[in-house]
Chain A
C-alpha cells in the first residue's frame, strides 16, 4: 500500500505539466461498490497519468441519470448496467468499451436474498411480501425478478405487497438485512464484495435464488467521443492488471481486469427484457422519479 502511494506520488509530479484543459468525464453508477472518494481520487490520478488528461468521475443516484448524461454529452464514459446498455436507442448512442472480468469471466448473477431468519426458501414464498429493487434500470436488481414473476404468469404489480427502489445494490442488501423488505434482488458482484468487507451485513441475509449468468455491467462510451481518447481509455483499462498500481486498484475493486467482449455477451439480458415486455405492456410497474 505504501509502495503504491509512493509510486503514485512519483507519477503525480509530472502530471501538472500535462495538458489538463478539457477533462474526461467518467460516469459511475451503483454497479461500482466503492463510493469512497479516496479510492476514486487514486483511480482518476491513475487514469490521468496514463492518458495524460484530467479525468473526473461523475456520480448520480440512478442509472437513468447517468445514461441521460451520457446521451446528452454531459459525460464521455460510463460504467453502467447491462440492462440500460441493451435498451435500443434511436439513433444508437452508446458503444461497448470494455467489460470487467470478475472471477475469471465477464459474467455475474442476480441473487434473490431474504433475511437469514426468515422462513422463505424459494422465490414464490415472497408472494404478498415486501420487496426491495435496486434500480429500475438494473438487470440483476429489477429486470431479473420481474422476469421471474412474468415466467410464473403473475402480474408484477400484484405479486408483492410492497416494493421500493433503493437505487443502490448495497442498500438493497441493507434493506433486507434490516428487514425493511422481506426480500430483495441484488448484483452478485456487490453482494460478494460486501461479504468480504462487511460480512456482518451479508450474514444477516440468505440467498434463496441465484440466476443464470449475465454479461457483467460494462463500461461504455458515447458515440462521438474522439477516437484517440476512446483508444487511450480502452488501452489503459485493459492493461490495468499489468502494472502494480493498476493491479492495486483492481484488487480494491475485487476485479481481475477489464477486457473487450462482443455485444452477444448481453444476449441473456435481451431475452429477459423480451420475457418481461411480453408479460406486461408497460414495464414500469412502479412509479419512480
Chain B
C-alpha cells in the first residue's frame, strides 16, 4: 500500500493537510465549547422561566388551597400553559401541578392521569426522585434532569405557605425539547461553518503550499537533470515574490545558467582537444611513415643505379624489408586503435596462458624473470580484446627493461571484475610525461611506435574498464586494469 507511506507524499499535500487539520481541530474545539456554553445558558434561562411561572401561580394558590377551590387552581395552571396570542415563548410546559403538604393533587395540568384529591403518582424513577426532592423543598428551587437529551426538563418548584404553615408546592416543568432543537441547529451551523473553514483553509493551504513548494519542485527537477547531465532541459523557475523562496529560485537559476555555460565550454574544449589529438595522430603517422619511406626511397635509388651490385642488394633488401614491416606495424596498430568494434568474440583463460610462452620468446637471451600468477577459474570466458591488452602490456614491460629485470603478471577475479596487474622494475616513468603515456605516437623507446599503450587505453575504454598507472623513477612501473567482463560459461 504505497499510498499509506505518508513520508513519501509530496510536500504540497502534507503542508495543506497539516493546515487543514489545524483549522479543523481549532474550529471543532471552538464549536464544541460554543455549543456547550449555549446549552448551559439555555438551560439556566429555562430554569429561571420555570421558577417564574411557578412563582406566578404561587401568589394565588395558598388561598385557593385553603378554600379547596380546585377549579381556579386548575384554571390558573391551564391559563399559564395556554400560550396567549402573540406570545413568543419558546418553552413548552410539559407538566404543572399543585400538591398539598401530603403530596395529594390539588390541581394538575393533566387531570385525567392525575385526579384531584389523590396522591401524586410519579410515572418513572426520575419522576419519583424529583417528586421526593420537590416535596422536601422549602425555598423556590429549580430541579432539572441531567445530560443532553431531548426529553430533558427544567422544573421550577415553589413551596406554598400560609401564615408560615407549609401548605404544599407548585411545580412547573418545562421541556428542553425546543432548546435541544435550537442547540442542535446551532451545532449544525457550527459544523457547516467548520466545513466551510476546512474547505477555505484547504484551498488556502493548497495555494500557499503550492507557492512554497512549486519552486522547490522545480529546483529538485533541475538538480535531477544536472545529475543526468541534461542541463539543456532546464527552463528557469519563474520568480514572483522576493521572499526566501523567491531568492532561492533566483540563486538556483543563476547556478543553473552558470553550469550550462560551463558545460558548453567543456564541450568546446573537448572538441578542440579532439582536433588536437587528430592533428597529433596525423602528424605522427606522417612522421613515422615518412622516416622509413625516405630510407626506402634512398635504398631503391641506389639499387636502381647499381642494379647488378650483389653486395648492395644483400645489404639493402633487409633494410627495405625492415622499413616496410615498420610501416605495416604502424598501420596495423593504428587500425586496431582506431577501429575498435563491439566484438563479441570470447576466448578462454587457456589462451591467455599461451601469452606466457610468447613473452618468454620475446625475452630471448636477456636475463629477465617472469613471475606468472593467474588465479582465475580455468573455465572462465573473457572477451578477445583482453588478450590484446595483456599482450601489449607484457610486450611494453619486456621492451622497457634493459638486459635484466623482473616482469610480474597477476590476474584474478573480483566479482564481475577481472583484475590484471603488469609490474616491471624498469626505469619508471617521469611524472612530467606520465599524462602523455597513453597518447598515440608518444614513446620513450628508441624503436617504439608509441601506439602500444594507446591501443591498450582505447581497448580498456571500449570495455568500460579502469586503468591505473603507478610509477616511480628508477624503481619500476605498475599497470592495474579492472574490466567488468566476467561471465560464466558463455553459452
Contact = CB atoms under 8 A, between A and B. Distances in A.
What is the predominant secondary structure among interface residues of chain B facing chain A? loop
B68 interface: yes
B454 interface: no
Contacts of A171: 71
Contact of B117 (A162, A165, A287, A289): A162
A6 to B, nearest CB: 31
B74 interface: yes
Given A162-B116, A162-B117, A288 B67 contact: yes
A134 to B, nearest CB: 10
Contacts of B111: 178-180
Interface string A96-115: 00000000000000000001
Interface in A101-131: 115, 130
A168 B67 CA distance: 17
Nearest to B104: A162
Contacts of B4: none
Given A130-B117, A180-B111, A175 B68 contact: no
Contacts of A175: 71, 74
Interface string A276-289: 00000000001111
A180 B74 contact: yes
B67 A162 contact: no
Interface string B66-95: 011111001000100000000000000000
A289 B71 contact: no
Contacts of A166: 71
Contacts, number: 41
Interface in A135-178: 161-162, 164-166, 171, 175, 178
A70 interface: no
Which one of A161, A162, A286 has the greatest number of beta carbons of chain B within 10 Å? A162
Contacts of B74: 175, 178, 180
B66 to A, nearest CB: 9
A76 interface: no
A164 B68 contact: yes
Interface in A177-198: 178-182
A179 B111 CA distance: 6
B115 interface: yes
Contact of A286 (B68, B78, B112, B117): B68
A122 to B, nearest CB: 20
A207 interface: no
B116 A165 contact: no
A175 B72 CA distance: 11
B70 A179 contact: no
A289 B71 CA distance: 14
Nearest to A165: B71
A287 B116 contact: no
B118 to A, nearest CB: 8
A289 B72 CA distance: 13
A284 B131 CA distance: 36
A132 B67 CA distance: 15
Contacts of B115: 130, 179, 182
Nearest to A129: B115
Contacts of A179: 111-112, 115
Contacts of B69: 164-165
Contacts of B67: 287-289
Nearest to A180: B111
Nearest to B112: A179
A34 to B, nearest CB: 20
A182 B74 CA distance: 14
Contacts of A181: 116
Interface string B98-126: 00000000010001100111000000000
A70 to B, nearest CB: 25
Interface string B38-64: 000000000000000000000000000
B68 A132 contact: no
A200 to B, nearest CB: 16
Contact of B116 (A115, A130, A288, A289): A130
Interface in A5-45: none
B400 to A, nearest CB: 133
A165 B111 CA distance: 16
A179 B114 CA distance: 10
A161 B68 CA distance: 12
B71 A161 contact: no
B117 A180 contact: no
A120 B443 CA distance: 141
A239 to B, nearest CB: 39
Contacts of B116: 130, 162, 180-181
A115 B111 CA distance: 12
Contacts of B107: 180
B71 A164 contact: yes
Contact of A132 (B71, B78, B112, B117): B71
Nearest to A178: B111
Which one of B69, B70, B117 has the greatest number of beta carbons of chain A within 10 Å? B70
A162 B68 CA distance: 9
A286 B70 CA distance: 12
B368 to A, nearest CB: 136
A148 to B, nearest CB: 21
Nearest to A287: B67
A160 to B, nearest CB: 9
A287 B68 contact: yes
Nearest to B110: A179
A136 to B, nearest CB: 12
A180 B68 contact: no
Nearest to A117: B112
A175 B78 CA distance: 11
Given A162-B117, A171-B71, 4 more contacts: A130-B70, A178-B112, A180-B71, A289-B67
Interface of A: 115, 130, 132, 161-162, 164-166, 171, 175, 178-182, 286-289
7 contacts: A130-B117, A161-B117, A164-B68, A179-B115, A180-B70, A180-B111, A286-B68
Interface of B: 67-71, 74, 78, 107, 111-112, 115-117
